[in-house]
Amino acid sequence: MRMTVTMFLLGLLYVAFVAALVVLLKSWVLVVVVAAGMLGAQYWFSDRIALFAMRGRVVEREEYPELHAVIDRLCALADMPKPVVAVSEMDMPNAFATGRNPDNAVVCVTTGLLRRLEPAELEGVLAHELSHVAHKDVAVITIASFLGVIAGLIVRFAFYSQLFGGGRRDQNTAVVFAAVMGVSAAVYAISFLLIRALSRYRELAADRAAALLTGRPSALASALTKVTGDIARIPSKDLRTAQAFNAFYFTPALGAEPGVARIFSTHPSLEQRLEQLGRISGELGEAATPGRAG
């Protein structure tokens, strides 16, 4: 909950920063350029930022032949380009994918995940991450986040064009400014919740695509149960750094008792994910051979 509140306050700080730019620079064009620059940096460099933050490094086939072999096979089944393969020297079992499109993507796994999972389980996790790449989920979430910012900017521009138009300034300036900030905060709050709902939907979609691609939803369910249980046993203080990147992960670093934080989670609950995989298992009859995801 503290992490969620912190993220929310950081978002409000960003809103206040953009509003202050409009007031100080008196140029909505310049603010749009700045905001577009921020979006561009996030869009183009998200993979490098994520790898740096999670201490991931690119690994070649000679160093991790089995990991490369699984990704090669899944990419062939999914008919998609092979992403860059990376490994993070972290004991926390997890994986993430990032990149603006399938041609510029990275799939990273932690050494903790590699140590804990059986081959079929690892295949399910990697299929999940490759689904995010194939469906351009990183770009979708980035654009969705930016739309919330743009909505707030449009509201502010409308107010300020009236407020500062023709060089007029009156005693109601402070009141109008407070109203603008209130609207901006409301827009951000709504987008904050909607983006997390969208992220949960994309996680369920990635689970489904992975189950269909491998033909073994039970292996993915086993990996989910194992990883979630192991993360829950990690001391909370060791999860704090990782929690800032929950949106990237295969399963979030929420600790043993996330409580109300589930409302703001970027991922569905373990129960929801296992229930869906159970239905898919019934649909497929747990086929012995992998199938192609639709």
Residue 203 annotated as binding? yes
Residue 132 annotated as binding? yes
Computed from CA positions of residues 219, 221, 222, 223, in that sequence, does the dihedral angle turn out positive or negative? Answer: positive
Whether the CB-CB separation of 216 and 122 falls below 8 Å is answered with no
| Residues in a beta bridge with 99 | 105
Selected catalytic residue, list 129, 275, 283, 286: 129
- Please tell me the number of Cα atoms within 13 Å of 271 on its side-chain side: 1
CA distance 79 to 31: 41
Residue 135 annotated as binding? no
Q: Is 275 a catalytic residue?
A: no
Give the closest residue to 47 by CA, choosing from 35, 38, 56.
Answer: 56
Identity (one letter) of the amino acid at 155? V
What does the angle CA 245 – CA 72 – CA 102 come to, to the nearest 5 degrees? 50
Give the closest residue to 46 by CA, choosing from 115, 138, 136.
Answer: 138
Binding-site positions for Zn(2+) read 128, 132, 203
Which residue numbers belong to the known binding site?
128, 132, 203
Q: Catalytic residue numbers?
A: 129
